[in-house]
Amino acid sequence: MIYLDNAATTQPNMVALEHAQDYLTTRYYNPSALYREGYEVSGELKKARSALLSKVADETLFELVFTSGGTEADNQAVFAFAKRGNAVTTAGEHSAISAVFAELKNRGVVEPRIAPLERNGQVDVEKLLALIDEKTSFVSVMHVNNELGSINDVNTIAKLVKQKNPRVIFHSDGVQAYGKLPFKIAKEIDLYSISAHKLGGLKGIGGLIKRKSLALPAYIFGGGQELGRRSGTENVFGIQQFAFAAEEKFLTLKADFERIMRLRERLWDGLDQTIFQRLSPTDGTPYILNVSAVGLRGEVLLHMANDKGLLIGTGSACSSNSKTRYSKVVLACGYDERVADGVLRLSFSPKNTEEEIDEAIKILNEIGLDLKNRMK
Amino acid sequence: MKKVIIIRYAEIFLKKKNRGFFERAFENNLQRALKGYTYELIKQSGRYLIENFDEYETEEMLAKLQKVFGAHSFSVAQETASDLDSIFEAAKSYCQESGTFKVDTHRGDKKYPLTSIEISREIGAKILEYAKGKLKVDVHNPSFTVHVDVRDHGKALVFGEFIDGANGMPVGTAGKGMLLLSGGIDSPVAGYMMAKRGLKVDCLHFHSYPYTNMQAKEKVVDLAKILSEYTCGTKLYVVSVTHIQEAIHEKCKAELMITLLRRFMYRIAERQALRIGSQCLITGESLGQVASQTIEGMTSSNSVVEKLPVLRPLVGFDKNEIIEKSVKMGAYETSILPFEDCCTVFLPEFPAIRPKLSEILREESKLDVEGLIAEAFASLEKIEL
């Protein structure tokens, strides 16, 4: 089986699993407990927090609040700060942001504004800035688009946004970027969401990185964990496994980046370009290659590939059971429904080999041609 | 005080010589519905009592019983001694704080010293005294009624309300049918309607993997499971028609895709029905609802079914009426999940609304009908629910 759906989730880091197992079986103490054993676990938690944070941010300026994942981090950010005037985001966001903006509209407290995308999947920065005025309270721009892989230069965008209105709280969804792109969070970014299971961690763990001086209201009330912002006994095992996995991932980040870039281009070069059209930009994340079998249906190809042992995605795995089958993001880039219907998302992990890529090329070309002939 | 569930049956009481057959089926279905619960089922004339069950499970058991066809109504009663004081004690718990009431008594025990009317009068008087002027008697239009049922052996049942049953006839008493189950709103309702008249229903679903997905099939399994609570279990047969659609697409006129496909579906359904001893086909068609559900469409489909009748219990219903029934049976939420159940990849832009049989036959003659059906049967899968 060849797994090319690593943007949906990727195999957990097994070494990290083993390493963290201790916190599941023998050191299962509640980190809030007052005896020595509990206190020690809380110390280990602190180390993990610091390790995860320091990879992308200056620890003197930022801190990390653990959450149940990227979606919760995004929800926390929006609901905490999009409270008055208008809030601005992009047409390329993951549903963890776009659905929250739709909810803001329902509640009628804040006016949501959506900035359009360029053909390459990046936000149109000029138009985004045009949406920001003195009444804007919150802006959210994703770092790496989860469908196309397009990268928004969020550090620069945050600076431009703050020049226009320094009171804006700026958030970025970094779920597909963390551990995959060389990046440090600029001081103009107030909030940044991360997730564990996209880089070898487990599902159910993520975090919201926040500027220290920013007062983040409590999202879940209870025992006051996470400095009162997110109550509930910490998922110590998940956090430790996340920290170990991230440690390893960041060590090879640059080497992985280059190798996977070669894999991505090898895959694209091998695909039958009379069937497939490339939607991912060349300067996007190497981890995602989005193509469209124009005029064919991506989901049918997904099933056909599945039967041949190749696991791929269509749009975003998180939106494949939503009512509209067309990728909103692809439509937002200006493509028509025939293109949007044929979308396949191929996403990589450092574990993928050249042999796998070659086999995937063979399968994709075969099924693409097969379906094209059947639909004639 | 002990709780008892009273079950009254519906049309069975109209049966004379073969009432036993209907009663046995009804009992079996009640027992099937209550599988996993501890209880005793006691048969009385024209009704059943459920006793010795865990009272915390009353609501749950009632919900299961409400899905058994053949039951007219239920009541949750308290069993007491049949002296007036004990009856009054039980009756108190059904009294509202204010308003009007009446006491309605049935006397099974004809040796009881008071007549039904006298018992009602005595209990009514005690309630009036107890309510200290807040309640009044109104025998014509009371805001609540206390029901008293005096039984043999010095026992009485006291209850406040009648809970509607599903009515109809016990499933299994009217034979066996094969329901063509899609993932939509109509077909589960059609199965429900026929089960209500006592038919044992099995289901047949057609899928077009890889053009449809696994979630779509899972949804049909869920729908069959919901239906199975009314049909006392069901067998779901799943058949792939992908190759048939591809053959039609390749060789025949695009606008006849649905018409031709339906003829295959009906042929496969009849053969599978005969294989398992089903006596009819059931579909969720409603006249004029979509292009293939015109009289011409139905004629075209019917003409390939040789031996069995095709029952269309929804043929005269509006969509709204069907939705109402779907909601009532608890299938609606599942039916509207957005998975495609029929391959829309091959769906023509303008399907034929009034296909001519001569044209259909001409197009169909381009296909190896028997070969395609045999291939479909090779994909047959059975899921027991």
**Mean pLDDT score across all residues of chain A:** 95
Domains and CATH numbers, chain A: 2-10+252-375 (3.90.1150.10), 14-250 (3.40.640.10)
**Stretch 319-348 of chain A: residues touching chain B, C-beta under 8 Å:** 321-323
pLDDT of A23 over the 50 cut: yes
Report pLDDT for B15: 81
Inter-chain residue contact B210 with A300, CB threshold 8 Å: yes
HSE, CB side, 13 Å, CA atoms: give it for residue A255. Answer: 7
Quick check: B379 contacting A, CB < 8 Å?
Answer: no
- Of B166, B172, B221, B237, which is closest to residue B201 (Cα–Cα)? B172
Structural contact between residues B366 and B252, judged by C-beta atoms closer than 8 angstroms: yes
pLDDT of A44 over the 70 cut: yes
Quick check: A375 contacting B, CB < 8 Å?
Answer: yes
Report pLDDT for A106: 94
Domains and CATH numbers, chain B: 2-164 (3.30.2130.30), 176-384 (3.40.50.620)
Residues of A with Cβ-Cβ distance to B338 under 8 angstroms = 321-323
pLDDT tens by residue, B335-362? 988 776 666 678 777 888 788 889 999 9
- Give the span between the Cα atoms of B269 and B238, in whole angstroms: 11
Residue A200 zone, left/alpha/beta (φ > 0; ψ -120 to 50; rest): left
Least confident of A31-35, A232-236, A239-243, A313-317: A313-317
Name the minimum distance, in Å, from the CA of B246 to any CA of chain A. 7
Inter-chain residue contact B345 with A300, CB threshold 8 Å: yes
Best of A321, A326, A344 to mutate (most B CBs within 10 Å, chain B): A321
Residues of B with Cβ-Cβ distance to A321 under 8 angstroms = 215, 338-339
A366 — phi, psi (to 5°)? -60, -50
Give the pLDDT mean for A206-220.
95
pLDDT of A324 over the 70 cut: no
Report pLDDT for B10: 87
Inter-chain residue contact A321 with B209, CB threshold 8 Å: no
User: For strand B163-164 and strand B235-240, is the pairing parallel, antiparallel, or unpaired?
Assistant: unpaired
User: Residue A5 has what DSSP assignment?
Assistant: B
Inter-chain residue contact A374 with B209, CB threshold 8 Å: no
pLDDT of A322 over the 50 cut: no
Residue A214 has which token pair? 């920013």
Of all residues in chain A, what percent carry a pLDDT higher than 90? 93
Quick check: B338 contacting A, CB < 8 Å?
Answer: yes
Confidence band (pLDDT; 50, 70, 90) for A349? very high
Confidence band (pLDDT; 50, 70, 90) for A156? very high
**Mean pLDDT score across all residues of chain B:** 93
This prediction's pTM: 0.86
Report pLDDT for B292: 77
Quick check: A265 contacting B, CB < 8 Å?
Answer: no
Inter-chain residue contact A322 with B215, CB threshold 8 Å: no
Element (H, E) at B323: helix B319-329
pLDDT tens by residue, A170-185? 999 999 999 999 999 9
What are B29-34's contacts with CB under 8 Å, separation 24+? Answer: B29/B68, B29/B69, B29/B70, B29/B170, B29/B171, B29/B172, B29/B232, B30/B65, B30/B68, B30/B71, B32/B232, B32/B233, B33/B64, B33/B65, B33/B67, B33/B68, B33/B229, B33/B232, B34/B61, B34/B64, B34/B65
Report pLDDT for B338: 77
Give the pLDDT mean for A81-85.
95
Residues of B with Cβ-Cβ distance to A300 under 8 angstroms = 210-211, 345
Inter-chain residue contact B345 with A375, CB threshold 8 Å: yes
Quick check: A133 contacting B, CB < 8 Å?
Answer: no
Element (H, E) at B313: none
pLDDT of B142 over the 90 cut: yes
Structural contact between residues B19 and B43, judged by C-beta atoms closer than 8 angstroms: no
Structural contact between residues A285 and A149, judged by C-beta atoms closer than 8 angstroms: yes
Q: How many CB pairs under 8 A join A and B?
A: 24
pLDDT tens by residue, A107-137? 998 999 999 999 999 999 999 999 999 999 9
Residue B161 has which token pair? 């309300």
Give the pLDDT mean for B53-72.
95
Residue B310 has which token pair? 């095709």
Residues of A with Cβ-Cβ distance to B246 under 8 angstroms = 374
Q: Indicate the residue of B210, B211, B215 with minimum beta-carbon distance to A321.
A: B215
Residues of B with Cβ-Cβ distance to A297 under 8 angstroms = 211, 345
**Stretch 250-289 of chain B: residues touching chain A, C-beta under 8 Å:** 250
Of all residues in chain B, what percent carry a pLDDT higher than 70? 99
Q: Which residues pair with B349 in a beta bridge?
A: none
Give the pLDDT mean for B160-167.
95
Report pLDDT for B289: 84
Secondary structure in 3-state letters for A125-161: HHHHHHHCCCCEEEEECCCECCCCCCECCHHHHHHHH
Residue B167 has which token pair? 């009515």
- CA distances for A177 relative to A16, A56, A153, A257, B290, angstroms: 20, 10, 11, 11, 48
pLDDT tens by residue, B12-24? 878 888 889 999 9
The separation between the first and the last C-alpha atoms of chain B, rounded to the nearest angstrom, is 38
What are B360-364's contacts with CB under 8 Å, separation 24+? Answer: B360/B256, B360/B259, B360/B260, B360/B263, B360/B300, B363/B251, B363/B252, B363/B253, B363/B256, B363/B260, B364/B252, B364/B260, B364/B263
Give the pLDDT mean for B189-195.
97
Give the pLDDT mean for B171-195.
96
Tell me if residue B157 falls in helix, strand or coil.
Answer: strand
Residue B346 or A148, more confident: A148
